[in-house]
Amino acid sequence: MISTLTSLKNDLVKRAASLKMKKYRQKEGLFLLEGKRAVEEALASHWTLRALFFTRLPEGWERRAEESTLSWYEVPLPVLQKITATEDPQSVAALVEIRQENLDSFAPERGLVLVLDQIRDPGNLGTLIRTADALGAAGVVLLEDTADLYNPKVVRSTMGSLFHLPVCTGVKAGKLEAWCRKNGYALWATALEGAEDVTKLQWPAKTALVLGSEAEGVSPEILAAADQKVKIPMAGQAESLNVAVAGGIVMFEAARSFSS
């Protein structure tokens, strides 16, 4: 069913706009999704949408809107701008129910699990999730003090990959180690000291790889528990790499090792 919303003061518009803040996302159990492709990914992955806003219907969506039990709202551009907080929003946005993935019920039979420790930049977090998806990771685990998965910038940066693989959030370091031991996962961590060249190692079929923030690296507790510390060989003079770039390189090595 399609309705029309024109007022910036409408309660639903204000509620949607409030989801830019974490406390309201937690209160409502909802997050904001922007763009035709992202909405299509969410629908195809059977995530629950609560409402959909559009300034113009994407081509071919007329029948979808007519047959849907979801509430669809045609809105003017200023309303969509308020909801999304972007000057040039894409023509479609949606309210989506947050999913809580439980680490205790997450037990892939094999493959790479990407673990992110104190990655606070939303763009880096989203890019790492997208890269993990592209390279066939079994899932992602976000440790405490990592950026909120449902931050709009994170969601945008995943480019739909958020809907393709499980992401467990708010996990304590000690719980991660216990999970690895219980499920037979080798715990690997990136490090500068006491680390081996990642290009020269054979990865275990079940590996949890931990990446830390650029400022602080992987936490001491994780490093102390790690079965293997790895580093990227660098021939140039740069002291470090952006964490999303470094993560892509290391995950590519993992994928290459798994396929050999």
Q: For residues 110 and 88, what is the distance between their CA atoms, to the nearest angstrom?
A: 42
Task: Note whether 62 and 84 are same-domain residues.
Answer: yes
What's at 9, amino acid-wise? K
- Per-residue pLDDT of the chain (260 residues), as tens digits, is 788 999 999 999 999 999 999 999 999 999 999 998 999 999 999 999 999 999 998 888 888 888 888 999 999 999 999 999 777 778 999 999 999 999 999 989 999 999 999 999 999 999 999 999 999 999 999 999 999 999 999 999 999 999 999 999 999 999 999 999 999 999 999 998 999 999 999 999 999 999 998 888 999 999 999 999 999 998 887 878 899 999 999 999 999 888 76
Beta carbons within 10 angstroms of residue 56's beta carbon = 10
Q: Which tokens belong to 137?
A: 């990771």
The whole-number pLDDT of residue 66 equals 81
- Strand, helix or coil at 23? helix
Beta strands 139-143; 111-117: pairing state: parallel
Residue for token digits 């290459």? 256
Task: Note whether 92 and 118 are same-domain residues.
Answer: no
Task: Note whether 212 and 107 are same-domain residues.
Answer: yes
Task: Note whether 214 and 132 are same-domain residues.
Answer: yes
Structural domain boundaries enclosing 32: 2-97
What are the Cα distances from residue 16, in Å, to 20, 24, 75, 89, 107? Answer: 8, 9, 13, 14, 34
Task: Note whether 155 and 46 are same-domain residues.
Answer: no
Beta strands 92-97; 30-34: pairing state: antiparallel
The whole-number pLDDT of residue 260 equals 66
